[in-house]
Chains A and B, each alone.
Chain A
Amino acid sequence: MLTGFIFYFLIVVPGTGGEICMSRTMKTVGEVTDFRPGAIARVLGRAMRVPWFWIGITMMAAGFFSLLGLLSLANVSFVFPAASLSYAVGTLGGKLFLGERVTPQRWFGVLLVCVGVTLVFLGKK
């Protein structure tokens, strides 16, 4: 139970923080308009030269390995919807750290996602 909780915390907090770092990286790189494989590879190369990328990768790796750990303890249909609490944490992070304008409508959508997540928890057999 404690191991599962630790894995879950690591999925939600560092996992989400890592994704916010990735978002900051890609905003630094700039909007991608060319989707040919070579162009995508060059974009990825530029992203890797942004320090936020490596901070993000490290944090996301912590979240990913925790996900592997939690998958060994619980059903896949429980783990992934349950981990979607990170959507609410991520939306707050987008507003606070990335300066995104989160409208009441967007918050309401995220709230519904959170209620859905809670029901997924309650519905666990």
Chain B
Amino acid sequence: MTAPQGLLLKTFTLIVIMVSVAPLGDMFLGKGMKRIPPMASWAPADVFRFFFSAFTSGTIWLGIGLLLTFFVAYLLVLSWADYSYVLPASSISSLIIALLARFVLHEAITPIRWTGVALICLGVFIVGRTPPRTTEQRSC
């Protein structure tokens, strides 16, 4: 089965938007969450304190804004493309996350983790060579 060029183009465009915005959102969320104390217990007061700290952080809100952008792009691409295509294809963001973590957050990443990220990228490449849509579709 061969996918039309237009379908491939708009699918890839939205996936590129998704994988560009999501890791940045994740990074800001990660930075924000590192600045708040971990949840001490499952007691309601501790749970409330944890989420109050999270939602009063500007860094976390920036992350949430970027992830909302990701979410809209995600919904749009799901209106025509298979979920089983979009989901693994979007995992290419693992590479971007690892690069951001290494060079922006200065986290240590072991060679075995880099190998894992490389395999994820190879898997995404293989999934990317399958047709994006295998079900009947209607236009809106």
Name A residues whose Cβ lies closer than 8 Å to a Cβ of B.
Answer: 3, 19-20, 22-23, 25-27, 29-33, 35, 40, 43-44, 46-47, 65, 67-69, 71-73, 75-81, 84, 86-87, 90-91, 93-95, 98-103, 105-106, 108-125
Chain B residues with CB under 8 A of A114: 123
With A19-B83, A91-B84, A108-B126 as contacts: A116 and B39 at CB distance below 8 Å: no
Q: 10 shortest A-B CB distances, which residue pairs?
A: A119-B116, A112-B123, A77-B101, A76-B30, A123-B113, A30-B140, A94-B84, A116-B119, A109-B126, A109-B127
A-B contact count (CB 8 A): 217
Contact B123 A72 (CB under 8 A): no
What are 15 A-B interface contacts by the 8 Å CB criterion?
A: A27-B135, A44-B72, A73-B38, A76-B26, A76-B101, A77-B102, A80-B23, A80-B26, A81-B113, A95-B84, A100-B134, A116-B123, A117-B116, A120-B94, A123-B115
Name B residues whose Cβ lies closer than 8 Å to a Cβ of A.
Answer: 23, 26-27, 29-30, 33-34, 36, 38-39, 50-51, 54, 72, 74-76, 78-80, 82-85, 87-88, 91, 93-94, 97-98, 100-102, 105, 107-130, 134-135, 137-140
Q: In this complex, what residue of A is CB-closest to B138?
A: A30
Cα–Cα distance between A4 and B124 once the two chains are bound (Å) = 27
Chain A residues with CB under 8 A of B93: 80
